[in-house]
Structure 1
Amino acid sequence: MKFSWGHGVIVFLVLFFTWMVSFVMFSLKQNNDLVTKDYYKKGAEFSNHMEIQKRSYSLKDSVSIKNQEGHVLFAFAEVCPELKGEKQIYFYRASDKKDDLKLNVPAGDAQFLVDKSQLKHGRYNVTVSWEYNQEPYEVTKDFFVR
């Protein structure tokens, strides 16, 4: 039997559909936790979140995050009275919600260490939030854990 162009088209179509089916199966197995469960509630509170961000904008450089050997160091500016209270640190990993981490920092601590064994290597959105004079503040930074 001779291999003609018709046979080539059929072989191409079979290989193409096999690739498409395997790609769809691969895509269905991937984790897609990019949206929170309370998506509509967060959307309704977006204007409130924007007010907090606007209020906190001047304090964004008062919080620094650095990679160290085995730890992530958070340094809070001691000159800011707003940063004297209890703070909450939230490591948000967009690719997998199982890798998110929420920690509380005691009041008065100017530095805080987070053990890297609690975090996976990769990109996180780190949010530091606190209250001062009954008003919430929040600083969000991108951070890469090495």
Structure 2
Amino acid sequence: MKINWGTGIVIAFGLFMTFILYFVFEVQSNSKYDNDLVVEEYYKHDSHFQDEMARIQNAHDLQQRPTIKYVADGVEIIFPVKFESDKIKGNILLYRPSNKKFDFNTPIALTKSSLLIPKNKLIKGRWDVNMEWQYDGKKYLSKEVVYVN
């Protein structure tokens, strides 16, 4: 049987649509492919955006900002010495963009002016560190990206 070009185009479209539908079905049904949102309650999170921007601006306006960096023992957060350690309250979210199962919160409990998150709590790769803290009634938000080796 001889196939003309019109029939060939219809067959090619049919095969292409079958190919695409197969992959759509595979991604939706296979648990290996994670389809979760980055933030669980996206719209609720988005409604507090202006407050979040104000806290980021407060942190940006500081002359001396806390530093977040990776050291051999883990992730170290160092506050400037001008801040009194006992007046700093807050929370640190270590967020793993590739897998939410590794995300965790740590309350800010300073020894002198620094906080160390041990390396054994962290896996290798990228971590987004969101530090929400308060000092003398003013709220701050610092966001950094840290790569753990």
TM-score, L = length of structure 1: 0.74
Higher share in helix: 1
Which AA in structure 2 matches 1:42? H
Select 1:47's aligned residue among 47, 50, 68.
50
Which AA in structure 2 matches 1:23? F
Select 2:41's aligned residue among 38, 42, 49.
38
Specify whether residues 108 and 100 from structure 1 end up closer, same or farther in structure 2 by C-alpha distance, changes over 3 A only: same
| Larger CA deviation: 13-22 vs 69-78 | 13-22
Specify whether residues 78 and 34 from structure 1 end up closer, same or farther in structure 2 by C-alpha distance, changes over 3 A only: farther
Specify whether residues 135 and 108 from structure 1 end up closer, same or farther in structure 2 by C-alpha distance, changes over 3 A only: farther
The CA deviation at 1:34 is 3.4
Please, which runs of 5 or more residues in structure 1 have no aligned partner? none
Distance 1:18 1:116 in 2: 47
The CA deviation at 1:139 is 0.7
State the aligned residue count. Answer: 146
1:113 aligns with 2:116: yes
Specify whether residues 59 and 26 from structure 1 end up closer, same or farther in structure 2 by C-alpha distance, changes over 3 A only: farther
Q: Which 4+ runs in 1 deviate beyond 6 A?
A: 8-15
1:139 aligns with 2:142: yes
Which AA in structure 2 matches 1:52? R
1:24 aligns with 2:28: no
8 A contact 2:89–2:133 mirrored in 1:
yes
What CA RMSD, in Å, does the superposition of the two structures yield over aligned residues? 3.1
Specify whether residues 70 and 15 from structure 1 end up closer, same or farther in structure 2 by C-alpha distance, changes over 3 A only: farther
| Larger CA deviation: 56-65 vs 34-43 | 56-65
Specify whether residues 136 and 143 from structure 1 end up closer, same or farther in structure 2 by C-alpha distance, changes over 3 A only: same
8 A contact 1:62–1:80 mirrored in 2:
no
Specify whether residues 81 and 112 from structure 1 end up closer, same or farther in structure 2 by C-alpha distance, changes over 3 A only: closer
**Percent identity between the aligned chains?**
28
What residue number does 2:107 align with? 104
Tell me the alpha carbon deviations over residues 5-58 of structure 1, each in whole angstroms, 9 at most, x when there is no partner.
9xx989977975675355334532311333322222222111111111111112
1:75 aligns with 2:84: no
3-state secondary structure, aligned to 1:20: helix
TM-score, L = length of structure 2: 0.73
